[in-house]
Amino acid sequence: MPSVDASSVNAQSLNVREIAIRLDPDRFRCTLLHEQAPDPRLLDRPAIRLQALPARGQTLWILREMAAGYDIISYMDYSPASYLFLRLPRYLRGRTKAVLHAEAPSAQLVNPSKTLRFLYEGVLPRCDVYTGITPFVAQDVRSNTGKEVSHILPVGVDTSLFTPPSARTNSSPVVLFAGTVIERKGPQFMLEAAALFPNAIFRIVGAGRDGFDDTLRQDISQLGLKNVTLDGPKTQSQLLEIMRQSDIFLLPSRLEGIPKVTLEAAATGLPCIVFRDYESPSVVDGVTGFQVGTTGEMMQALGRLTADRSLRERMGTAARKHMEEFDWDVVSRQWQSAFLEIVAVRVR
d(C-alpha 18, C-alpha 260), whole Å: 13
Q: Give the tens place of pLDDT for each residue, 20-30.
A: 999 999 999 99
> Could you give the number of structural domains in the chain?
2
CB 118 within 8 A of CB 87: no
The reply to whether 27 and 118 lie within a common domain is yes
Please, which residues have CB within 8 angstroms of residue 51's CB and are 6 or more apart in sequence? 31, 32, 33, 34, 65
d(C-alpha 162, C-alpha 174), whole Å: 18
Question: What domain range is 67 assigned to?
Answer: 11-156+328-344
What is the structure's pLDDT at 323? 98
What is the structure's pLDDT at 113? 87
93 found inside a domain: yes
2 found inside a domain: no
The reply to whether 123 and 194 lie within a common domain is no
Q: What is the CATH number of the domain that holds 259?
A: 3.40.50.2000
61-72 per-residue burial string, b: 16 or more CB within 10 A, e: under 16 = ebbebbbeebeb
Spans in the chain with pLDDT lower than 70: 347-348
The reply to whether 200 and 263 lie within a common domain is yes
What is the structure's pLDDT at 144? 87
The amino acid at residue 4 is V
162 found inside a domain: no
31 found inside a domain: yes
Other beta carbons within 10 angstroms of residue 223's beta carbon come to 13
What is the structure's pLDDT at 347? 63
The reply to whether 322 and 332 lie within a common domain is no
d(C-alpha 348, C-alpha 272), whole Å: 44
The reply to whether 190 and 317 lie within a common domain is yes
161 found inside a domain: no
One-letter-per-residue 3-state SS of the chain:
CCCCECCCCCHHHHHHHHHHCCCCCCCCCEEEEECCCECHHHCCCCCEEEEECCCCCHHHHHHHHHCCCCCEECCCCCCHHHHHHCCCCHHHHCCCEEEEEECCCHHHCCCCCHHHHHHHHHHHHHCCEEEECCHHHHHHHHHHHCCCCCEECCCCECCCCCCCCCCCCCCCCEEEEECCECHHHCCHHHHHHHHHCCCCEEEEECCECCCHHHHHHHHHHHHCCCCEEEEECCCHHHHHHHHHCCCEEEECCCCCCCCHHHHHHHHCCCCEEEEHHHCCCCCCECCCEEEECCHHHHHHHHHHHHHCHHHHHHHHHHHHHHHHHHEHHHHHHHHHHHHHHHHHCCCC
d(C-alpha 140, C-alpha 212), whole Å: 29
What is the structure's pLDDT at 148? 95
What is the structure's pLDDT at 348? 60
321 found inside a domain: yes
The reply to whether 317 and 340 lie within a common domain is no
Give the CA dihedral 98, 118, 137, 176, nearest 10 degrees: 110
261 found inside a domain: yes
pTM value is 0.92
